[in-house]
């Protein structure tokens, strides 16, 4: 679908922002550089008549994003959690995008459920309500299973949503090209790779079978965690466009007044949501990557209820260790170690000066830690890091994009509950616990055991491998006096010893 028609799409985007009055608000919120502001107004103002009018009852930015389509709405959902970036007023307006969008008719939803699951809605469900929440991709209906009486949530994709998303993402690729052309320094951030990553994540979100699997895995991982409830999917009534999952009643985390009225301590909730995210990311390497307020509720018990598992993040163990060491280095103000981790991970080219990089990181960290707790911000840290790493040739790590984005969102959720939260103090015990378990002596023994287990799989093949190598050397040159080919039992014994050691250490850990 990529092609010249996306130029029209981009112009129409700017024209819609101009027509709804949102262009000035958005450019100001992001503190766009003068060159970008001029180009945006030049492309938007003459074509204002091409822009979509949107719902005039909504504020300008919200009006524009809802008119432009699902991908823009998803972008607005992220911004709604960041009052420190876009301002309290705009963040409050954008909360509308989380779960208050206009629903499509219930009759259409029922027909989609029947076609997708090949069932009769009236027979399977004794109750099936109108939409109780509607977001950019799908809407949710409260229902009751006729057979068991269990209350469930039935999530149904919006009709034609996949085509609409693909159209929007195509326009984003063009926008990435324009940004790179207008700002060469932005190429280090690899806008194309970022959009490509976003595309993969969103298109995965459009298959509710994957979301059902994610919900089941996340529920299993968090089963022993205190303070969180994860509903489980009902597999027999879930498919590509429909997902049925257990219902959990709670107060929206976006409604501070309702949380206060219910007697919940928002300071405790703010710390809990941040610590749970870090625990899942570091401990499990599998985390909820769309943790805005619209996907979180608070049960009467005070437990956080997580919904909407369409966007989940994964981190391999090595990346988790790198991320944890960078975080703990900043928390402890050990900038030399933070620099070493960047070099060890290959994030910064090896020909750069590590001491200069450590000094630059100190410039990033010290001003932040000297601030009042209410002003300590992960978003600000990431912004400063981008400036520093650009000077040292570091490129954006696409595997960390989702983690960084989610960290920013979670920080926004926590700060909306407790504006004075000290992000670093809350994060410290979780990160330190992970470091103790994953970087200390126990971790070294565990890693050795895993390595030996892998080597043990090749134990039976070691004699043949070594014999083949020795035969190759014999044909090339005379063997050294100390090497004899007549001892295959020796090599077999070595392989058996490695295999045995791997199994033994594996059972210990």
Q: How far apart are CA 447 and CA 318, in angstroms?
A: 11
Count the Cβ atoms, other than its own, within 10 Å of residue 425: 12
The 8-class DSSP code of residue 306 comes to: E
122 is catalytic: no
Q: What's the pLDDT score for residue 493? A: 42
Q: Any residues with CB less than 8 A from the CB of 353 and at least 6 apart, and which?
A: none
**pLDDT of amino acid 374:** 62
Distance CA 224, CA 496 (A): 39
Q: Is the pTM of this model over 0.85?
A: no
Closest to 125 measured CA to CA, from 106, 148, 105, 108: 148
pLDDT at 427: 85
Residue 271: the pLDDT is: 93
Q: Look-up: residue for tokens 């969103």?
A: 202
Catalytic residue among 84, 99, 170, 290: 290
Task: From 63, 128, 144, 76, select the one nearest 102 (Cα to Cα).
Answer: 63
Where do the domains of the chain lie? 5-99+164-199, 101-159+207-247, 249-439, 443-508
Per residue in 345-395, pLDDT (tens digit) is 888 888 889 999 899 888 877 776 666 556 666 656 666 666 676 677 776
> Which overall architecture, per CATH, does domain 101-159+207-247 show?
2-Layer Sandwich (3.30)
Token pair for residue 491? 């090599």
| Average pLDDT per block of 10 residues along the chain, 509 residues long | 65 79 69 68 72 81 82 73 65 73 91 94 95 87 95 94 80 74 60 70 83 95 93 95 94 92 94 93 90 89 91 86 83 88 85 90 75 62 67 67 77 88 84 79 69 70 76 64 44 39 40
Of 439, 458, 438, the residue nearest 499 (C-alpha): 458
Q: What gap in Å lies between CA 409 and CA 274, rounded to an integer? A: 10
């Amino acid at each position: 679908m990529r092609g010249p028609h996306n130029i029209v799409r981009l112009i129409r985007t700017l024209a819609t922002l101009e027509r709804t009055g949102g262009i000035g608000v958005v450019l100001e919120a992001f503190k766009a550089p003068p060159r970008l502001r001029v180009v945006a107004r030049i492309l938007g103002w003459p074509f204002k008549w091409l822009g979509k009018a949107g719902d005039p009852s909504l504020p300008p930015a919200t009006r524009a994003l809802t008119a432009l389509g699902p991908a823009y709405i998803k972008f607005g959902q992220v911004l709604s959690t960041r009052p420190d970036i876009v301002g309290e007023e705009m963040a409050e307006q954008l909360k509308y995008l989380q779960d208050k969008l206009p629903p499509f008719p219930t009759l259409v939803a029922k027909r989609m459920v029947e076609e997708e699951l090949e069932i009769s809605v009236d027979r399977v469900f004794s109750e099936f309500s109108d939409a109780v929440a509607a977001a950019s991709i799908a809407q949710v209906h409260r229902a009751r299973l006729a057979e068991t009486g269990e209350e469930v949530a039935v999530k149904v994709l919006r009709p034609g949503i996949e085509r609409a998303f693909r159209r929007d993402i195509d326009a984003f690729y063009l926008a990435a090209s324009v940004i790179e052309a207008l700002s060469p320094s932005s190429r280090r951030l690899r806008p194309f790779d970022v959009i490509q990553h976003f595309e993969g994540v969103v298109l995965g979100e459009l298959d509710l079978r994957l979301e059902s699997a994610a919900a089941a895995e996340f529920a299993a991982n968090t089963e022993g965690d205190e303070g969180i409830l994860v509903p489980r999917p009902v597999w027999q009534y879930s498919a590509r466009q429909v997902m049925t999952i257990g219902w959990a009643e709670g107060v929206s985390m976006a409604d501070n007044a309702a949380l206060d009225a219910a007697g919940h301590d928002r300071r405790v909730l703010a710390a809990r949501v941040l610590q749970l995210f870090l625990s899942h990311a570091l401990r499990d390497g599998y985390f909820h990557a769309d943790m805005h307020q619209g996907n979180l509720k608070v049960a009467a018990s005070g437990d956080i209820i997580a919904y909407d598992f369409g966007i989940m993040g994964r981190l391999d163990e090595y990346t988790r260790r790198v991320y944890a060491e960078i975080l703990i280095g900043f928390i402890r103000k050990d900038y030399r170690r933070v620099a070493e981790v960047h070099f060890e991970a290959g994030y910064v080219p090896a020909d750069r000066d590590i001491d200069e990089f450590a000094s630059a990181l100190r410039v990033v960290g010290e001003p932040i830690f000297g601030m009042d707790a209410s002003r300590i911000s992960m978003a600000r840290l990431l912004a400063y890091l981008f400036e520093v790493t650009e000077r040292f040739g570091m490129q954006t790590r696409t595997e960390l994009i989702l983690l960084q984005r989610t960290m920013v969102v979670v920080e926004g959720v926590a700060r909306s509950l407790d504006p004075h939260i000290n992000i670093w103090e809350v994060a410290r015990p979780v990160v330190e616990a992970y470091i103790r378990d994953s970087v200390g002596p126990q971790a070294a023994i565990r890693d050795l055991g895993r390595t030996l287990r892998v080597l043990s799989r090749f134990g039976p093949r070691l004699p043949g491998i070594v014999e083949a190598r020795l035969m190759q050397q014999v044909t090339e040159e005379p063997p050294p006096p100390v090497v004899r080919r007549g001892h295959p039992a020796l090599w077999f014994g070595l392989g058996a010893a490695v295999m045995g050691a791997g199994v033994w250490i594996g059972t210990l850990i």
